[in-house]
Structure 1
């Protein structure tokens, strides 16, 4: 009798799966020895009676040919076998059948050795639906029945609200072991969190409950060994959301020593029964392991949950996850209780145990917990300072000293009165219980400062300057500039135009203009400040302002493409550094200027020198304990970008991941630097062809940029461009073209039509349009772009696009010459111009247009 075949997979239902895979592998390797052009025909001949097997073999070859490295065969085989296993391993759906007293209603899921069904009692005794787990009918063996019995016995020992309950179990007349559990209305943890966002306290509460469940398991001398998102469900109940731990099959198997000999293709691909990414190293290596292995898996699970947590919890959750999932078991939490305790501290706003050695962190946590008490304490300090000045003045014998003390007293009292009025509006009792945002309070008081006639002029200036700095830190740039303008007017009204305070405020205004892409306006402000600074007597304060001014001025020139001018400005700023260093002044740290110098070297194409400069600054920062600063964030970004441009993405990735973590810590609200950190990491993944990882980062970069009020800046134009490049890779051509048209308009307005970034964006737009229409006018546009771009690195991409369009217009000879020029230029530019996925795609499209399909593949 001829065996029936599964039409989807070509796998004979009566054939031994292991033998089937062995035959498939042999055919695959035989095909790989043939010339590529002969493989398809050979497969058709070998599999003439098995169309499904032929299709799978061709898919395996496609995988292998797509990989251009020594492991291509193994990669293709592994990927296709995974497809084959998924298609061929599905057991027959038994919905409608009976298992002892239970009627199977619908299948929920299946695995390598068992199936789970929604079921109900069929004898009328109880009207209640349950989940029934039964051995697969095609896997019934005595050892599996023993394993089911062991899992039933193990689960019967567990009684915890966050662990799935078992009700019943047994073995059918056909020898199929089964057991009955509670039916859960929920979804795997990560899927549930992606659909329903939880606030910080609720998410931490669920994670703490999970720790409690795992702790209960360990208390019964059981190690779960398979904690992963699929085995943790977030369930809907009448009492609200409840987290549930399930699937104790591996625990039962390893505790009893039973080897069910599941076919290799249905196991995890990591090793044996292990779940890739969640199994502790000692378990993967076959070493003796205990509860610490579950702590490792829990740490990995916490790490997966971080993107769904409020940003202000990311730092602590990451610290908890990393500590729990250390490779060395002795370096982890000693038990799951340690994880639960730190999660509890975090939910109460306390400092977690792992970070208590950092004084700044402990203070920050205390301030967040008691912020209104801190405000009250600050007001008391201001009032106490006023009293102290008054008492000091009364004790002074000299009349001049007394007058000075009284002046200070009046100033302190005036500031105290102003701050009391300011923070009255922040009292929750006056705001229906709501706590207003800090920036809202500052904006409200900025209006009040305009009419603050009773303030001493110096105190008035200090408040305006401080409010401006706070608003700048909060990325409220328009309001920060307003505060600075008022401060400048106040100084000039006192007849003190050109003093150090005036210089400092002009430098701040220049930084604001530069950040908005108004480079010429920024340069004019810096120039005014520099001229005034040169007229002031030399002093420590003058040296401090010199370094700050020329650092910002040089960065502005570098961003606007004036590299020689930028280098000269940075050198001038560095001349003042020895004065500061000799005095032990913190302004002696020259890392900010090193960042700008490295950026200049990078823009000139000297990437190796730039990387050396950035690494030196990075090491200096870490040695000085300045690794949580804005300057360090810039360093991380440049280090990652430089490594990527040098074709070293594995070195770039840790820097850019660290940059995202630091940006999320420094900027809990939307900010341009946070957007930039997301964009840099997303661009790295895009260059590597890792689109699934790149897309959420690039979309987040655009969203944060818009929320931060940056939608009219040149940086936002670049964010839009990078996301559009991903759309091109994903073949969403109309979306890419629409977004790039917006980016070009924005870049031309903010940077000008001849700026290198504007030209790059125009090139990306031409690439998108080439997918929608390949006509002569578009070719003319690209040829004009080539003339405008000159010898910039993007010339390679422009040549590849031009070659494609020339071929599509029937200019095969010109296209071949243009393509060869691009290849020569690309070879000459490495490693400064690494082999990036978008560039490979451009070359492939050009080759396809020339009819060179094999080369394109």
Structure 2
């Protein structure tokens, strides 16, 4: 029965309850001729009221009822007045002080008293006078429910039992903190941070629902945030197991009226929708600091009537309800009132109101669906709660695709610049006005093309938007080559972001030609930088250094914009320097780039990128402590940024996790990388291929900690995600992921499985024409062949690897050194001492010496090369044991010893 029908039934019952029974049927039939459901409900209520007994029965029962109530009040008063519980032993614990009291009993802070170890817990005891069968059964049910819930954001059960006088007790994890709402307000958390905390609560509730448990009493006081910032869900005292027949627990309505769902008030069957409604109420308060319903009096009955009868006020309107300007509420969210209303209007209004629908089947189908819609809002994707128009969906699209949408920013700047100059420079007013009008006309035509109403409802893609802009630019801004060049470069950059190289190339060439003709040094440098990006993405990164050298020679670093371009060009050099094993140069270049940038927000993205490159290079140079010092200051700031900036958080966490792993702080490193995975999934979606890189790094972090089974599982997830990222049949990311998975399998000595993965990786890398991954996969397959004793196959793969990598890798690059060492090892396995001739041994010594000068001179590769050189010098297997090597190298060393033994 909906709220309107229930109100009608209640009003009719009130009107008829004192009338003679003989008149009921006729009067109900007259009043409810149009609604059989209300008719039957009113008659049932009247009969139930009559069945409660006559006044004489009530008079008879009243003295006993009053006496029982007086006894309970006296017992409760005695409990509250007596300090006897302090110091009382309950199981292995000693009660310290009372920290809470509710309808069932009291909660005490307790300490472990059995001497086994130090521990503080929250002990829950039933209040005297209330130990009736129903309450005892409910208490035991809570104990059973908590025992089955294991989640980092649910206060876990520590112990439980029965006191000497027969009362059950629970010992729960003690949370020293404050409720979620107060915690957020006290720290002036913005809406984004509040939504992230709310998603943590949703995860905990979803965990309970997966185990068929409905909490039924979610409210801020049952959700605490500890001093460590971790959210904890408490109090499953009235939780209900969905698959239980209540186990003797009464169906008595037990709830907090202010946070009850309509079906709880009506006494109907409860489902997970009750918790979804409560989460909607919680989110409402977190966002706008008020409750959605206005009750005339602060009484349970008033709240129940409001829940049944009122429609909730939209959060964006509630901020300034009752004549309050909302300044205090907005300030606790680090916003102005007008800005807070704008932030809440639209998506957040729709999400909250959907969760607060009166009918359970009109709310979100699950807590996960609720949380996913919040994540869509954070990712600037269309939310399911809001049946937006095509214009709304297009706006969401443009928010998500910032590269394409940057066209609007460039044009707006051109317009503003034109209008501003017109006010101050009379001579240039006409020219600037024409330029601004042309830019505005270009943007209008661009968004006309983007408007789905003009596209007959077709879906809009970023490529469609750019193609439309390119066509329009052919005739836009006549005579304004500088402004036109800026727009063309912006569109070319967006094309490169989409890996549409063929579309970007002519735009860059056109700007380069016109800039050279005009002598525009800054725009020519910008075109050269974009040309480097084009060559790099086209697997011709060797052409980048000369382009960037010329670009830097054209720029004046005294100009902030040109200094920013120099810093960006330094970042583009990193990949080539990595291939050349020049990590010291990377360190110097990144430090120089950071000195060129200012402290403004416009330089912030690039500053973090340079810092990440710097930290990565320091890690490779085995200077992880320095790397940590470079990146750690950014973490707190990035964790509280909006989604555009939080993209940087994923890479920062990944690089820092590598530093911590190198410092031996493996647990911290793994936790940090798991956070990176979580951030990436919230930004892009769980199944977006972009998340694969975070799983890849997680696998590497787990492997460094020796947790190979978990590493393989993470890498399998990365492979799964990369398989969904085909682009024209070419997928270099999949090749890399397959090779990484094979490396982990080699470490587990699962060589047959590793070879199968490497075969696929080689095929994918060859199709994608991605030489770096092709060469790496060939080397690892050569290792697997050699472990199996197939020296000719190993030599063939090693030779092919050298042919692939030689054009782009220096002779002293680690990959090339590993190839030379493996080739010599293959000869030793097959030919024994005959392979150790003077020329081969000289090369082995040179490889070992070169490895000693690499960033990681103590790694397994370097130790294996040194082992080969030592063996060669003795011209027989070393008398000393093989030094500690990776498992695959140890196996190869064993194979090398076999031919030598046969000769002797």
The two structures have a TM-score, normalised by structure 1, of 0.50
The two structures have a TM-score, normalised by structure 2, of 0.47
